[in-house]
Structure 1
Amino acid sequence: MRRTSASPRGSFLVPPPPRRARGTETTAPAGGTRPSREGASMGRYRNPILPGCHPDPSICRFGDRYVLVTSSFEYLPGLPVHVSDDLVNWTLAGHVLHRPGQIDLSGLTSSSGTYAPTVREVNGRLVVVCTVVGPEEGDWAGRTGHFLVTADAPEGPWSDPVWIDGVGGFDPSITVDGDRVWLCGTREAVEGYWPGRTEVWVAELDLASGALLSAPVVIWTGAAVGAVWAEGPHLLPHPDGGWMLLVAEGGTDLEHAVCVAYADRIEGPYVGDAGNPRLSHRDLGPVAPIVAVGHADLVDDIEGRSWATVLALHPVDGRRGILGRRTSLVPVGWADGRPLFAPGIGRVEEVVTAESVPDQRPWPTRVEERFTTERLDLEWNGAGRLPEEIATWGTDGLLLPGGAEPSRTARVSFLGRRLPDENSEASLRLRITPADDGFRAGVLLRVSDAQQLELSVTGAGEAIAVLAGAEIGRLPLGRDAVGDELELTVRIRNLTASLFVGEEEVAFCELDVLAPQPPRGFIGAWVGPVAVGSGEARITRFALSVG
């Protein structure tokens, strides 16, 4: 039986009473094709809609554009902001956390940091709310909790954070109701009853100060007795009046799901949809091509059609890959006032044909960076620090001083960008200037502090390959090679990797250790140059290709 309060809408064991249908709704045939309205154009796109690891997507319309923000955890610049004119072709416009002094993530362990942002348009401005989550253990002294930032455009600049005190938890979201703004979020339930039980709360918020104007009211604890990790909540005005709660449940893995509830008042009581979960791949098993679907947000396009962004995992040959959770786009219909995710299909599909979107343009298959311009490409991130706090770049390329071991949580000298595909090749040209034999620099494939693949050259004139802290290959180069420009390549094919210096293979390995089941973190793979110890490396070219 569902746990919920009584509601004037009737029993929570049946759907809400019929409402005016939103638009025209028919049943779609199988095969990923949505039926078209008469005269509507049709386009085809592929999921995911963003390359690489982009979890916890939130979306809104801003003028005639769409704005999408995703989690970035310990990476800076943080909270990437993508924009689109058509929902299927996206451009990275910038980041919410993009300059020194905005936020301190230095020293954070992997999968801590910025969790599950929400983006909304409020009175002509963009507002993002998010949470900084610190490590459960250790002595990290940075500030945790909810904050909000604002900007006049997706490209920024974004304001300094306004911190929201008085309520804990994670996954905050904001909702506008006339001249009032409401904040909702998730926290562990006061009365646990069972492990993983959480509760969704709502409170009125003053945007200018971040002060709560009312005490938090609990509005949801899950769609069923025993339900776990009700999180990622979004409160949305229902098209026929009242409010709709969109919430993720089951945890962000194979049991992930999208659930819905309804209320006449924003503070509830809320009645769960009798068809919950409204979207899930939990019954498809771990070897399905798309799993762990959840964490939905909704947006209406300029023609009034509804769409959802969700996160999902994409297994490789039935095994968990290293790309992490990614963002997909799902058409949404309405029947009797209830949302239908992928109507007629009920699943997130890799290839979708839908009305009123163009054909998706292919992603670039190769990017090359020579680091000779004043501005670094927006795709580059540092772990816990901004790129300009780690390295310098200009006419002679990227100068990367040595830092801490990459398995550490502070002052790691690594610049990375998201691995775009399971079949990718990363290569760089570098010249090292070591202060001692222990210095090394090269290519790092980073999933977490512990889950890494590294190919480096050392001050002693050797190439070494290390997987998850264990050496897997060594190639003598000779001391004469120290100071020469060398080319290092990491070639990934699904869950295997081949590592080369020039044309010589240093190691071949399986990457299952970087993608354990159950997962040990929330992020996927970044790849880029790394330098460790006393010395520096100059990188004159970095290339990342797909295929």
Structure 2
Amino acid sequence: MNRLFTNPILPGSYADPSICRVGKDFYLVTSSFEYYPGIPVFHSRDLVHWRQIGHVLDRPSQLNLDGTPCSKGIYAPTIRYHDGLFYVSSTFVESATGARRNFYVTATSAFGPWSDPIWLPEAPGIDSSLFFDDDGKCYILANRKPPSGQLYPKHMEIWMQELDVNQGRLLGPKYSLWEGAQKWIHAQEAPHLYKLNGYYYLFIAEGGTGFTHSVTVARSQSITGPYEGCKSNPILTHCHLGRSHPITNIGHADIIQTEDGEWWMVCLGSRPYGGFSNLGRETFLVPFIWEEDWPVVNPGIGKVELKLPCPSLSIHPWPTERACDHFDTDTLAYYWNYLRTPRQSFLSLTDRPGFLRLKLKPDKITEVSNPSFIGRRQQHKDFAVRTVMEFTPNNEYEKAGLVLFQNHDFQYRVEYSLKHMNKLVTVIARIDGVEQVLAEHILPDSKTNDRLFIKVEASGQQYSFYFASKAEQWIPLYEKADGTILSMEKVKGFSGAYIGLFTSSNGKQSDNYADFDYFEYLP
């Protein structure tokens, strides 16, 4: 019996996957939106086990996220390898109505370092990708409004133009390639072009990134078209399975062939629970074959499953990631992110070895700014998080604690602060920008209480909060809080929930800080 693997291969908010192969090695990138560093990079030898090896955009000179709203920022990167170089193209979405700026970066190794972005101001649309033809020419593809005008809301087309990757400039005319397979459905985007058996194959996403998301394909014997759609389009979608299906929102695919000749597809999808998607859009893997020169996804089944037979590749697991980060290294683990580009040093792992020190900044976790915050993705429906911090607030403005973050207007915070000179631990729900204190507990005025243990346990859509002054002597703060406020559906955003540590002096200057001894995340 074939070994089985479990989908998603990247759980949590890892959307818009793109993949390439170099020899026996596979590399994968995903969207990063308003989080910094940008564009996580993963490495695998068997398509099932992945380890993060860095980020593409890890220097402020590469990525200016100042003022970038939640669910904007870096969209849908594509990774390709050609003639000894890795290329990643992507789109920087500045705001809801601002510019969409396409760019690409290069590196001799997927581990980096990556170049500063090469911006392409004459390349409209989103989800740019690169294609290298057999003659060495490179082309860029993205979407745009049809030159003849839109026939319905979000009606888009896929365009293509030659790109001089050495000079960083577009050449020749723009070609209109395809307006998608499903007339009157919207948001034709995420083009990926491949050449196989005398055909150019154009894979795109249609239907938006929610419930009606889908993968469609067209082909042509000429790179500029005309492209004919596959008669069995969409070749992959889950919208016909209903909203209660365990996997929804399937779409935005990229394909790869193994050395053994197998074909596999990575795509995004969501695993809603209780009708809501707190985990965001995740990365899934599904096999496909070619029949009469058209792709057939997961033949005989036609959908992405939670359990599937492994690729024929030799199994290659990586060392298991530690469940508890003791902050005992000089750099943060790759799974940690900031909100937007850090413009000043507010974090130290060396000021007090074995602790994460977060300095207080005036910025608030409720603002579109760069607060003193680090966070990691929620990756499981049921989980437990524990941390302990040492913090002595000097006034009522100074706060530190743990945050469950969907965006600046939807979050839960466990805060340690002062109120009327009393030390206080508080649970705050922020829903659509309105804050409500769910629970507060006055701590005895003792030096020992400057060390505060915090725990959050999630059971589906019920989140419970606990604290302790001594290890493992947990006291309930608030139990069974409504977790749906952390879902994409409630905020109409693109990212899943994050769990993080934060400090703030709430608009005031402060030299204070909080020290965190560890952060444990257990599914």
- Do they superpose with TM above 0.5? yes
Alignment partners' CA distance in 2, 1:386 and 1:331 = 40
The 5 A counterparts of 1:212-227 are: 212-227=170-185
* Aligned equivalent of 1:495, options 461, 468, 482: 461
> Which letter does structure 1 place at the counterpart of 2:516?
I
How far residue 387 of structure 1 moved from its aligned partner, in angstroms, is 9.9
Matched, 1:125 2:82: no
Counterpart residue number, 1:27 = none
Matched, 1:103 2:58: no
> Which letter does structure 1 place at the counterpart of 2:475?
E
Q: How many residues align?
A: 500
How many percent of aligned residue pairs carry the same amino acid?
A: 33
Alignment partners' CA distance in 2, 1:414 and 1:523 = 17
The 5 A counterparts of 1:466-477 are: 466-468=428-430, 469-477=435-443
Q: Deviations over 1:372-404 (max 9, x none)?
A: 311211111101025984411121511111232
Matched, 1:511 2:474: no
Matched, 1:206 2:173: no
* Farther-moved stretch of structure 1 (42-51 vs 73-82): 42-51
Counterpart residue number, 1:296 = 253
Q: Deviations over 1:174-203 (max 9, x none)?
A: 000121000000123341110011111000
* Aligned equivalent of 2:136, options 175, 179, 183: 179
Alignment partners' CA distance in 1, 2:299 and 2:46 = 20
Counterpart residue number, 1:8 = none
How far residue 43 of structure 1 moved from its aligned partner, in angstroms, is 2.8
How far residue 274 of structure 1 moved from its aligned partner, in angstroms, is 0.8
> Which letter does structure 2 place at the counterpart of 1:280?
T
* Residues 381 and 387, structure 1, Cα contact 8 Å, conserved in 2: no
Q: Which has the higher relative contact order, 1 or 2, with Cα contacts under 8 A spaced 6 or more apart?
A: 1
Counterpart residue number, 1:402 = 360
Q: Deviations over 1:136-181 (max 9, x none)?
A: 26xx8xx850111111111111111111121221100100012100
Counterpart residue number, 1:278 = 235
> CA, structure 1 residues 266+82, in 2 after alignment: closer, same or farther (shift >3 Å)?
same
Counterpart residue number, 1:268 = 225
* Residues 165 and 211, structure 1, Cα contact 8 Å, conserved in 2: no
Does the residue aligned with 2:485 lie in a helix, a strand or coil? helix
Q: Deviations over 1:415-473 (max 9, x none)?
A: 01111211111111101132422211111111122221111111341111112232211
How far residue 345 of structure 1 moved from its aligned partner, in angstroms, is 0.8
Alignment partners' CA distance in 2, 1:520 and 1:213 = 38
Alignment partners' CA distance in 1, 2:458 and 2:167 = 48
* Aligned equivalent of 2:498, options 517, 526, 543: 526
Counterpart residue number, 1:448 = 407
How far residue 327 of structure 1 moved from its aligned partner, in angstroms, is 0.2
Alignment partners' CA distance in 1, 2:214 and 2:35 = 27
> CA, structure 1 residues 425+188, in 2 after alignment: closer, same or farther (shift >3 Å)?
farther
Alignment partners' CA distance in 1, 2:342 and 2:234 = 40
Q: Deviations over 1:111-141 (max 9, x none)?
A: 111000000001121100001001126xx8x
Alignment partners' CA distance in 2, 1:73 and 1:334 = 34
* Residues 321 and 495, structure 1, Cα contact 8 Å, conserved in 2: no
Alignment partners' CA distance in 1, 2:16 and 2:452 = 39
Does the residue aligned with 1:95 lie in a helix, a strand or coil? strand
- Unmatched 5+ residue regions in structure 1? 1-40
Q: Deviations over 1:468-514 (max 9, x none)?
A: 23221111114436862111111111111111111111112011122
Does the residue aligned with 1:170 lie in a helix, a strand or coil? coil
> Which letter does structure 2 place at the counterpart of 1:536?
Y
Alignment partners' CA distance in 2, 1:516 and 1:156 = 32
Q: Deviations over 1:504-533 (max 9, x none)?
A: 111120111222636511000111211121
> Which letter does structure 1 place at the counterpart of 2:157?
E
> Which letter does structure 2 place at the counterpart of 1:463?
V
> Which letter does structure 2 place at the counterpart of 1:125?
L
> CA, structure 1 residues 516+112, in 2 after alignment: closer, same or farther (shift >3 Å)?
closer
* Aligned equivalent of 2:120, options 136, 145, 164: 164
* Aligned equivalent of 1:242, options 187, 191, 199: 199
Alignment partners' CA distance in 2, 1:240 and 1:88 = 28
> CA, structure 1 residues 526+402, in 2 after alignment: closer, same or farther (shift >3 Å)?
same
* Residues 13 and 279, structure 2, Cα contact 8 Å, conserved in 1: yes
Alignment partners' CA distance in 1, 2:330 and 2:322 = 21
Counterpart residue number, 2:388 = 429
Alignment partners' CA distance in 2, 1:186 and 1:410 = 30
Counterpart residue number, 2:16 = 56
Does the residue aligned with 2:240 lie in a helix, a strand or coil? helix
How far residue 285 of structure 1 moved from its aligned partner, in angstroms, is 0.9
> Which letter does structure 2 place at the counterpart of 1:487?
F
> CA, structure 1 residues 218+390, in 2 after alignment: closer, same or farther (shift >3 Å)?
farther
How far residue 368 of structure 1 moved from its aligned partner, in angstroms, is 1.2
* Aligned equivalent of 1:372, options 301, 304, 328: 328
Does the residue aligned with 1:219 lie in a helix, a strand or coil? strand
- Unmatched 5+ residue regions in structure 2? 469-473
Alignment partners' CA distance in 2, 1:350 and 1:308 = 14
How far residue 411 of structure 1 moved from its aligned partner, in angstroms, is 2.4
* Residues 321 and 494, structure 1, Cα contact 8 Å, conserved in 2: no
Counterpart residue number, 2:306 = 350
Does the residue aligned with 2:173 lie in a helix, a strand or coil? coil
Counterpart residue number, 2:379 = 420
Matched, 1:391 2:347: yes
